Chains A and B, each alone.
Chain A
Amino acid sequence: SAVISQKPSRDICQRGTSLTIQCQVDSQVTMMFWYRQQPGQSLTLIATANQGSEATYESGFVIDKFPISRPNLTFSTLTVSNMSPEDSSIYLCSVARGFDQPQHFGDGTRLSIL
């Protein structure tokens, strides 16, 4: 499977600031996704990162709060904007080589907001 590097691995941020999380894959992949995992919960899909166009957001998530970029087939970023303590979560990037292939995940970013 692809090697997925996610940065930073963790961060502690101040309320009202923004943080950009990077996801780098060692080979081209068709699909890239961003998830949130709140403490003790399973995963919630934030959006599908589309190469060269706007991301597709799930219900309850908006571009102003979670802007996403995907400039090519190996890289994507998720920004968590104007952070509040409720945004404290693990954020995970996942990729799939093809439309019908399983998703594989990065190591995740543990984000804490003070």
Chain B
Amino acid sequence: AQTVTQSQPEMSVQEAETVTLSCTYDTSESDYYLFWYKQPPSRQMILVIRQEAYKQQNATENRFSVNFQKAAKSFSLKISDSQLGDAAMYFCAYRNAGNNRKLIWGLGTSLAVNP
């Protein structure tokens, strides 16, 4: 069975600095998707970025980028130029390609941004 592990329950970063959140996963599949979602205190779950396993190029969305290491089964999120609004719970999630029903979630990393 697939699993997702986020080993950092809490992280903090200074405003304008860069922070990296870790995520590792376990799967025997070769075709899958990985996601980072953000959940601020308002509780809405917001898609930050997604990565298709068949793509070698790391996904980027403005200040958010990932470091996808398929062989190591690692999928870290880098937030550059951190802003106060980036403070939130960040969840890493996995799903097999062709199965949109089942997202496998990590336990989350709580990110604090210090002014």
Contacts and interface: CB of A to CB of B under 8 A. Distances in A.
A53 interface: no
Contact of A106 (B44, B91, B97, B102): B44
Contact of A108 (B44, B97, B105, B107): B44
A100 B33 CA distance: 10
A33 B105 CA distance: 15
A108 B19 CA distance: 28
Contacts of B107: 41-42
A107 interface: yes
Contacts of B47: 1, 102-104
B90 to A, nearest CB: 11
Do most interface residues of chain B lie in helix, strand or loop, or is the interface mixed?
loop
B45 A105 contact: yes
Contacts of B37: 105
Contacts of A96: 100
Contacts of A31: 100-101
A108 B100 contact: no
Interface string B66-107: 000000000000000000000000010000011011110111
A90 B97 contact: no
Contact of A105 (B33, B46, B102, B108): B46
Contacts of B28: none
A45 to B, nearest CB: 7
A3 to B, nearest CB: 12
A77 interface: no
A92 interface: yes
B30 interface: no
Interface of B: 33, 35, 37, 42-47, 50, 91, 97-98, 100-103, 105-108
3 shortest interchain CB distances as A-B pairs = A105-B45, A42-B105, A107-B44
18 contacts: A1-B47, A31-B101, A33-B101, A41-B107, A42-B105, A42-B106, A42-B107, A43-B45, A45-B101, A45-B103, A56-B101, A96-B100, A99-B98, A102-B33, A105-B45, A108-B43, A108-B44, A108-B45
